[in-house]
Amino acid sequence: MLKAVIFDFDGVISDSEILHLRAFNQVLAPHDIEITTQEYYKVYLGMTDVDCYKLLIRKGLLKIGEEKIQGFVEKKYHIFEKLARTEGHLIEGARDFVLMLRRNKLPLAICSGSLMAEIELILGQARLRPFFTVIVSGDQMKKSKPDPQGYLLTLQKLNRGRQEPILASQCVVIEDSHWGLEAAIAAGMHTIAVTNSYDAEQLAMAEKIVTRLSELSISDLQKLCA
């Protein structure tokens, strides 16, 4: 039985991946580093900001000590905030889909590698924040997707105060990347992929693949948990 729906954020609800890339590159420009769009989608998408900077350090591209990473994270957030306030918007169909799920009285959650402040900013602007019971962000995770830690923490938070716990098998996760799908599957959850960031072939591990959220009905989600 379907008991909860968990969303990734960037690339599923918000069309903000390109804003993250632009913010990263503005921070990295003084260090003569530029992440191409192809590199970002192939390597960095799905990582927390901290893990992105750690990887650049390990590659020998970003020549700083790890103790300076938090400063880079804060710089990137301030740049992203400015971009999101002027250019951030929801992916078409996301609002209507969220409202449909809430009309069906389903608990909704977000599990994302983005910072809480970034998620809260965009949800606040879109007036969608009250519809999400739980948000787990990158600054709450020690391990990025494809590790299942984020999804397991999301489920733990959803179950706080419940007499009858929601099981992982009663959750449907909506993702746009193979990293996210791998994390959800490892957490024992059902998966739907939306082809906003990658084509269907790269998301083939999902139980269902759609091009947009408007293609989904409540019965589609219920069937996955039947």
Identify the pLDDT of residue 88: 78
**Helix-, strand-, coil-residue percentages of the chain, each rounded to 5:** 50, 10, 35
Question: Residue 59 has what pLDDT?
Answer: 95
- Mean pLDDT to the nearest integer, 121-149: 94
Whether 43 has a pLDDT exceeding 90, the answer reads: yes
- The alpha carbon dihedral of 32, 10, 125, 139 has a sign of negative
State which fold the 4-15+89-224 domain adopts: Rossmann fold (3.40.50)
What would the two tokens of residue 5 be?
């729906």
Q: Is 120 exposed, middle or buried (0-12, 13-18, 19+ CB in 10 A)?
A: middle
Contact 29, 62 (CB under 8 A): no
Task: Kindly state the average pLDDT of the residues 42-57.
Answer: 92
Alpha carbon distance 161, 212 (integer Å): 34
The tokens describing 138, both together, are: 């990158």
Extended beta strands in 49-189, E state: 108-111, 134-136, 171-175
What's the pLDDT score for residue 170? 98
Mean pLDDT of 191-204: 97
pLDDT tens-digit map of 159-195: 999 999 999 999 999 999 999 999 999 999 999 999 9
Write the CB contacts of 100 (distance below 8 Å, at least 6 apart in sequence): 218
Q: Tell me which residue has tokens 């389903």.
A: 106
Give the C-alpha distances (Å, rounded to integers) separating 149 from 13, 73, 144. 21, 21, 8
Report the pLDDT value the prediction gives residue 86, as an integer from 0 to 100: 87
d(CA 33, CA 30): 8
Q: Is 46 left (phi over 0), alpha (psi -120 to 50) or beta?
A: left
* Mean confidence (pLDDT) of the chain: 95
Banded pLDDT at 212 (limits 50, 70, 90): very high
Q: Is the pLDDT of residue 16 over 90?
A: no
Q: Convert the pLDDT of each residue in 82-102 to its tens digit.
A: 998 888 789 999 999 999 999
Query: Can you point out the beta strands (E) in the chain?
Result: 4-7, 108-111, 134-136, 171-175, 190-194, 208-210
Sequence letter at residue 84: A
Question: CATH number for the 17-87 domain, one of 2.70.98.70, 3.40.50.720, 3.30.465.10, 1.10.150.240?
Answer: 1.10.150.240
Domain boundaries, the chain: 4-15+89-224, 17-87
Of all residues in the chain, what percent carry a pLDDT higher than 90?
93
pLDDT digits (tens, 9 = 90+) for 23-38: 999 999 999 999 999 9
